Amino acid sequence: MLLIDPETGAINDANPRACLFYGYTKDELIKLKITDINTRSKTEIFMEMERAKSEKRNYFNFKHRLSNGVVKDVEVFSGPIVIGKKFLLCSVIHDISKRKSTEKERERLIDELQNALAEVKKLRGFLPICSSCKKIRDDKGYWNQIESFIRDHSEAEFTHSICPECTIKLYPGLKKN
């Protein structure tokens, strides 16, 4: 928890957990301004503090820089408080870096699965096929060329050629090169 002067951005007080999280002693932390920790521009930070001060908004997502330079995703609940005659913002900060990382991974996996599903068309069950001409009977009872049926029920494309055995059978007079 931090107590912040919304006019200057100065950190007026910090509890022990804030000191531990940010990696500063209390004396070091209260010499800083919130603009030294928050990675947004000063203009954006002061606009958000104004929203918290006027109670138009009390929940924020920011990236805060720790004493060792590591940047963490944080959610901040902030609202006005008067101590003595001093008007401050009381900000409760939660480290949500793991949650953000997990959400990004989940979104990546969802995208990956959706892409995979979009590309998958499966043939399932029994395919009634003619033993002689190799046509396949569809659900409506019509007989279709195997190429047409597979093309319509999968992502496969066909090219045509003749295997060596069929070449000899169909073109017995053709000589090999």
Q: How many domains does the chain have?
A: 2
Whether residue 77 has pLDDT greater than 70: yes
- For residues 23 and 72, state if they share a domain: yes
Structure tokens at 83: 């101590």
Whether residue 121 has pLDDT greater than 70: no
**Does a structural domain hold residue 105?**
no
- For residues 36 and 76, state if they share a domain: yes
Lowest mean pLDDT among 11-15, 20-24, 76-80, 116-120: 116-120
pLDDT for res 173? 82
| Residues of the chain above pLDDT 70, percent | 94
pLDDT for res 137? 87
**Does a structural domain hold residue 107?**
no
Where does the pLDDT of residue 120 fall: very low under 50, low under 70, confident under 90, or very high at 90 and above?
low
pLDDT for res 154? 77
The CATH number assigned to the domain holding 53 equals: 3.30.450.20
- For residues 13 and 90, state if they share a domain: yes
Whether residue 44 has pLDDT greater than 90: yes
Task: Tell me what the mean pLDDT of segment 120-124 comes to.
Answer: 63
Whether residue 140 has pLDDT greater than 90: no
**Does a structural domain hold residue 112?**
no
- For residues 72 and 21, state if they share a domain: yes
- For residues 60 and 132, state if they share a domain: no
pLDDT for res 122? 65
- DSSP assignment of the chain equals -EEE-TTT-BEEEE-HHHHHHHT--HHHHTTSBHHHHB-S-HHHHHHHHHHHHTTS--EEEEEEE-TTS-EEEEEEEEEEEEETTEEEEEEEEEE-HHHHHHHHHHHHHHHHHHHHHHH-----S---B-TTT--EE-TTS-EE-HHHHHHHHSS--------HHHHHHH-TTPPP-
pTM of this structure? 0.63
Where does the pLDDT of residue 148 fall: very low under 50, low under 70, confident under 90, or very high at 90 and above?
confident
Question: By residue range, what is the domain housing residue 155?
Answer: 119-177
**Does a structural domain hold residue 68?**
yes
| Residue bearing the bigger pLDDT, 101 or 162 | 101
Q: pLDDT tens digits for 47-76?
A: 999 988 888 889 999 999 999 999 999 999
Whether residue 147 has pLDDT greater than 90: no
> How high is the mean pLDDT of the chain?
89
